Amino acid sequence: MTREEEFLERLRATFRVEAGEILSSISAGLIELEKRPSPARQAELLEVVYRSAHSLKGAARAVSLNAIEALCQAMENIFSALKRGEAQASPAVFDSLHAAADLIRPLALAPAGALQPEEQTKIQAMENRLADAVSGKPQREPPPPAAAPDVPPEVPFPVPRETAAASAGSGGIHAETVRIPMSKLDALVLKAEELISAKLSARLRAAEMRKLKAIFGAWAAQWDKAAPALRKAARGIEAGGRTASGEGAGAAPGRPGDFFEWNSRFAKSLEERLDAMKRAAEEDSRSTGGMVDDLLGDIKEVMMLPFSSALETFPRLVRDIAREQGKLADLTIEGGEIEIDKRVLQLIKDPLSHLVRNCIDHGLETPESRRGKGKPEKGSLKIAVSQIDSGRVEVLVSDDGKGIDAGQVKASAVKYGILSGEEAGALSDRDAIDLIFKSGVSTSPLITELSGRGLGLAIVRENAEKLGGTAAVETSAGGTLFRLVLPLSIATFRGITLEAGGRAFIVPTKNVAKIISVSKDAIKSVENRETILFNSRAVSLARLADVLELPAAAGAGEGGSLSVMLLGADGGYMAFVIDRVLAEDEVLFKNLGRQFARVRNIAGATVVGSGLVVPILNVADLMKSARKYSVAAAARPAAEAGRPELQKQSVLVVEDSITARTLMVNILESAGYGVVSAVDGVDGLVKFGGGDFDIIVTDIAMPNMNGFDLTAKIREGKKRPDIPIVIVTGLESPEDKRRGIEAGASAYIVKSSFDQSNLLEVIKRLI
Amino acid sequence: MPEHFEAGPTPEDKKRILKERAAKLARAPEKEGAAGSLEILEITLAGERYGLESLYVREVYPLKSFTPVPCTPAFVLGVVNIRGQILPVIDIGKFFDLPHRELTELSRVVVLRSGAAEFGLLADEVTGVRLVAPGEIQASLHAVTGIRAEYLKGVTGDSLAVLDAVRILADKALVIDEEVAG
């Protein structure tokens, strides 16, 4: 790399950061503009977005990103036409502007390199679209004067606005700040956290010193008791054997009596030194602990970000989802200025966006239906953050929609085998509503790519609990309220280290109800499941090593009794046989990294005093696995304790594009499915007739017979009219989705969001 | 013709020749360390040499200890602690079905990174770093190794198979995302 290239690369890195900020500011500005605030505020906002587009154009030119420059120019033209009142700010214009910002973002973030031809076409098309957006609509209508005068000119999202104002140079007080890349801070945090192990080992040393001192003390007590007699005996030997001695070893005590005295003095001084060392070790442990805690406290401070920094994209998200669904929604955010640990934000951002999606998707009604109920057409969504004590915040996500129907939740839970009919009948509405946090339950009759896959809310609760928080829901006919309680920062928790299958694991102490020793005779077998009695109730018992799919450790299960740990989660209890308990300590939760997005039965890991990594167990998972295992164990020979093989299920893929077809076949085959493909609806119908399939995945737009017709034909036919059918499509409109439902599709996935996990997840859910 | 010899090149000629020489000398190193030449980290997997573009190698770390993670596929060696960060280590040899090698003192974790994706690859040994001109890496017509062509960036003149780090980092098959089926 030449020096110029290196420089350009550095410049581009800077540009990427800048472009990201400017684009966020443009997005926020557009969202607010579209809400039609007062004319004065509109003018102000237009000025900000206009200047932002202009600065980005200049910056893009500096790093010779001509495509971005051209797009910014086109955006700038629109803004300037709006400013002059020569164009009307219609939703279409906003759509084009948002789309342009979306197009610029990846271009700005991409590493330097020539544009792909398709990218160039897209950019050209966008330039034309932007040009048409103003010139194509020559109505010289000025921006409507205060269409909604009751809307306060307040900014609902203070933070993006503040940064926008600052970068636009509109003045404001600048505190003395430095800009540091997050990656550097992250490294610093990791190093500081590692000091926890130094603190723990200092504590261990101090404890060892105390033990040593105690051992010495026990010896000294014995010695003191025996000393008078021994002294006497020594003197006696001395008196009797005086002739034998004489030329001793100089300074060393040659005579037994002298040796005895020397020995006493030596032991005394050893004890004193031991005591001094013990005290020093304790002092070290205390001061190291204090310093580490102090440092971690400060580091946590540094990691605090305003909550709104995670919510910047939400207004846009709400707008897009609502538009896509033909609904109207307004989002207000309260308490965005409250500061919270960046890592908590990171973990909670996706769950929050899922909650918001869920509110629009399932909660809010269509404008017509709302009008019918006498509600305002525009639904209102609210995210309110407030601090409930020094360490916790409460996040309320609410909508004024139709609420959640407990009956529907029960029906869904029964359908997916989470509850039996009787169990569902006995359940209170409140408990039934809580089921939406269980994976597999969804009230949406059709699986869409938005939500309703019945996994999202489970992840919301899981992530909240992983952080040591809670997630709950309240609902009524007037709307739904999700309540998350989160810690302000990532804190350590108490964990019990245990050994199973010869390896160390940690369980959070809060999940451990009891650790007991159980005689082998006390284990009863009920319907192929082993149980023990606990508090006079039968609790199922599983071997932790088996559940974790570990090979049985040598010598395990010998002796007459077993160490059993009673673990609880989600209100249930289960007993696990472990090798032994090692210790209880402070534990800092760490993720296993992106590559291990989710590992069965393992929640994360921590680094212990010795620097070793110890996995932290996911107790809810363990209980689920154990239920499965105890049934499976009875059915299969003990020798093959590997992972349960995926049954080869068969998928029919109907798709006319060879690329899309090849991709899908590949994805499905590598996920272990048997796949047959068809090139259009007719071919699909023929192959469906001639084969035995578990599920059909079909495209919509195809020659001869499209996906809707194929779905309808199968539903009307005699052969397996109930087979799950997933429609995968490039079309994304509420009408199409409705047609999909009418034709009888079981799920509808839009190709733009088509990645393999999505498809596989949906298929897994349906068969 | 002694005059001729004495005359030799004219001062102008001398200048010109020296200039030419200087230009030649000046250009030479530029050609070598040249723009675009790739730095390749050489590793050993199952007794064979492979290359990885060092652009995507964050660091190389001796495998001192690691923690196996239960309920993960066989190609997952486990996790290691690198300065407080917990990093997954993939046994890429096992992933490619190469013959199994025992862990030794020479075993290394090669930490790959591209964008947000980051993990360690287990290498039997790291033998060194070398520069390769970009034109020297050719797409191989037939598989020279046991590794499927899609994971290879190409093969150098002396048949060193260069792994496609970006492809490996982006491979969904190497991401563990499994839920306990309810």
User: Which residue, B161, B144, B180, B156, is CA-closest to B50?
Assistant: B161
pLDDT at A250 > cutoff 50: no
Task: Residue window 548-607, chain A: list those with CB within 8 Å of chain B.
Answer: 548-550, 590-602, 605, 607
| Alpha-carbon separation of residue A367 from A371, A617, A738 (angstroms) | 6, 46, 17
Mean pLDDT of A510-528: 81
For residues A235 and A475, what is the distance between their CA atoms, to the nearest angstrom? 91
Same domain, A680 and A707: yes
Residue A148: predicted pLDDT = 41
Same domain, A453 and A573: no
Most A CBs within 10 Å, among B80, B85, B169, to test the A interface: B85
Mean pLDDT of A198-211: 88
Provide, as residue numbers in chain A, all residues whose Cβ is less than 8 Å from the Cβ of B69: 592, 596, 599, 602, 605, 615
Helices vs strands, H then E, count in chain A: 23, 23
Task: Residue window 447-486, chain A: list those with CB within 8 Å of chain B.
Answer: 455
pLDDT at A152 > cutoff 70: no
Higher pLDDT, A428 or A600: A600
User: CB count, 10 Å around CB of A500?
Assistant: 25
Q: Which of A503, A591, A601 is opposite residue B71, by nearest beta carbon?
A: A601
For residues A717 and A707, what is the distance between their CA atoms, to the nearest angstrom? 15
Where among A635, A668, A687 does a domain terminate?
A635
Residue A442: predicted pLDDT = 56
B82–chain A Cβ distance below 8 A for any pair = no
Residue span of the structural domain in which A375 resides: 305-404+443-487
Q: Is residue A438 part of a domain?
A: no
pLDDT at B136 > cutoff 90: no
Where among A108, A136, A167 does a domain terminate?
A167
Q: How far apart are the first and last CA of chain A?
A: 53
A5–chain B Cβ distance below 8 A for any pair = yes
* pLDDT tens digits, A56-92: 887 787 777 888 888 888 888 888 888 877 778 888 8
Provide, as residue numbers in chain A, all residues whose Cβ is less than 8 Å from the Cβ of B176: 595-599
Q: Is residue A84 part of a domain?
A: yes
Q: Is residue A430 part of a domain?
A: no
A645–chain B Cβ distance below 8 A for any pair = no
Same domain, A554 and A581: yes
Task: Tell me whether residues A595 and B117 touch, CB distance under 8 A.
Answer: yes
B111–chain A Cβ distance below 8 A for any pair = no
pLDDT at A694 > cutoff 50: yes
pLDDT at A383 > cutoff 90: yes
pLDDT at A538 > cutoff 70: yes
Closest-CA residue of B relative to A186 is B85
Distance from CA of A592 to the nearest CA of B (A): 6
* pLDDT tens digits, A303-318: 888 888 888 888 888 8
Same domain, A222 and A81: no
Region for residue A278 given its phi and psi (left: phi exceeds 0; alpha: psi -120 to 50; beta: otherwise): alpha
User: Which residue, A528, A522, A517, A627, is CA-closest to A570?
Assistant: A627
For residues A171 and A262, what is the distance between their CA atoms, to the nearest angstrom? 82
Could you tell me what percent of chain A has a pLDDT over 90? 9
Tokens of A217: 């003390």
Of the ranges A47-51, A409-413, A542-546, B148-152, the best mean pLDDT one: A542-546
Same domain, A298 and A311: no
A191–chain B Cβ distance below 8 A for any pair = yes
Distance from CA of A606 to the nearest CA of B (A): 8
Q: Is residue A534 part of a domain?
A: yes
What does the mean pLDDT of chain B come to? Answer: 81
Same domain, A722 and A595: no
Tokens of B155: 């093969």
Mean pLDDT of B109-121: 89
pLDDT at A365 > cutoff 70: yes
Same domain, A451 and A309: yes
Most B CBs within 10 Å, among A599, A612, A647, A664, to test the B interface: A599
CATH number of the domain bearing residue A507: 2.40.50.180
Same domain, A211 and A281: yes
- The DSSP symbol for A767 reads -
A304 with A489: CB under 8 angstroms? Answer: yes
Q: How confident is the model at residue B142 (pLDDT cuts 50, 70, 90)?
A: low
For residues A322 and A360, what is the distance between their CA atoms, to the nearest angstrom? 7
Q: What dihedral do alpha carbons A233, A238, A239, A243 form, nearest 10°?
A: 150
Same domain, A331 and A464: yes
CATH number of the domain bearing residue A338: 3.30.565.10
pLDDT at A528 > cutoff 80: no
Look up residue A540 and give its amino acid. S
Higher pLDDT, A646 or A352: A352
For residues A602 and A620, what is the distance between their CA atoms, to the nearest angstrom? 10
For residues B35 and B26, what is the distance between their CA atoms, to the nearest angstrom? 15
Mean pLDDT of A364-383: 89
* pLDDT tens digits, A459-501: 788 778 777 788 888 888 788 899 999 988 876 778 899 999 8
Q: Is residue A252 part of a domain?
A: no
Where among A458, A487, A516 does a domain terminate?
A487
pLDDT at A429 > cutoff 70: yes
B86–chain A Cβ distance below 8 A for any pair = yes
A670–chain B Cβ distance below 8 A for any pair = yes
| Tokens 């928790």 sit on residue | A493
Higher pLDDT, A379 or A11: A379
Look up residue A342 and give its amino acid. K
Q: Which of A1, A438, A621 is opposite residue B180, by nearest beta carbon?
A: A621
For residues B163 and B167, what is the distance between their CA atoms, to the nearest angstrom? 9
Region for residue A146 given its phi and psi (left: phi exceeds 0; alpha: psi -120 to 50; beta: otherwise): left
Provide, as residue numbers in chain B, all residues whose Cβ is less than 8 Å from the Cβ of A416: 182
Provide, as residue numbers in chain B, all residues whose Cβ is less than 8 Å from the Cβ of A191: 83-84
CATH number of the domain bearing residue A748: 3.40.50.2300
Residue A212: predicted pLDDT = 92
Residue A385: predicted pLDDT = 93
Mean pLDDT of A165-190: 64
Tokens of B109: 């974790």
Provide, as residue numbers in chain A, all residues whose Cβ is less than 8 Å from the Cβ of B90: 595
A184–chain B Cβ distance below 8 A for any pair = no
For residues A714 and A694, what is the distance between their CA atoms, to the nearest angstrom? 13
Closest-CA residue of A relative to B36 is A1
Q: Is the dihedral of CA A587, A588, A592, A597 positive or negative?
A: positive
Tokens of B147: 């590794």
* pLDDT tens digits, A712-749: 888 888 888 888 898 887 656 667 777 777 778 888 77
pLDDT at A602 > cutoff 60: yes
B68–chain A Cβ distance below 8 A for any pair = yes
Residue A272: predicted pLDDT = 92
Q: How many CB pairs under 8 A join A and B?
A: 114
Same domain, A100 and A154: yes
Q: How confident is the model at residue A623 (pLDDT cuts 50, 70, 90)?
A: confident
For residues A671 and A389, what is the distance between their CA atoms, to the nearest angstrom? 47
Mean pLDDT of B142-150: 65
Provide, as residue numbers in chain B, all residues whose Cβ is less than 8 Å from the Cβ of A605: 67, 69, 79, 86
A532 forms beta bridges with A539
Residue A443: predicted pLDDT = 53
Same domain, A159 and A285: no
Q: Is residue A411 part of a domain?
A: no
Q: How confident is the model at residue A631 (pLDDT cuts 50, 70, 90)?
A: very low
| Tokens 């013990």 sit on residue | A278
What does the mean pLDDT of chain A come to? Answer: 78
Task: Tell me whether residues A592 and B173 touch, CB distance under 8 A.
Answer: no
Q: Is residue A525 part of a domain?
A: yes
Please tell me the total count of domains within chain A.
Answer: 5
A684 with A654: CB under 8 angstroms? Answer: yes
Distance from CA of B42 to the nearest CA of A (A): 21
pLDDT at A566 > cutoff 50: yes
* pLDDT tens digits, A746-764: 887 766 544 556 777 788 7
Q: Which of B66, B71, B84 is opposite residue A193, by nearest beta carbon?
A: B84
pLDDT at B25 > cutoff 80: no
Tokens of A287: 């001061």
pLDDT at A251 > cutoff 60: no
A273–chain B Cβ distance below 8 A for any pair = no
User: Which residue, A358, A380, A360, A383, is CA-closest to A308?
Assistant: A383
Closest-CA residue of A relative to B30 is A2
Q: Tell me what ipTM this predicted complex has.
A: 0.78
Q: Is residue A433 part of a domain?
A: no
β-pairing, A725-729 vs A747-750, is: parallel
Which of A112-116, A441-445, A624-628, B120-124 has the weakest average pLDDT?
A441-445
* pLDDT tens digits, B28-77: 444 444 556 788 999 999 888 899 998 899 889 898 889 999 999 889 99
Provide, as residue numbers in chain A, all residues whose Cβ is less than 8 Å from the Cβ of B85: 190, 593
A68 with A108: CB under 8 angstroms? Answer: yes
Residue B119: predicted pLDDT = 92
B132 forms beta bridges with B38
Same domain, A127 and A272: no
Mean pLDDT of A201-208: 87
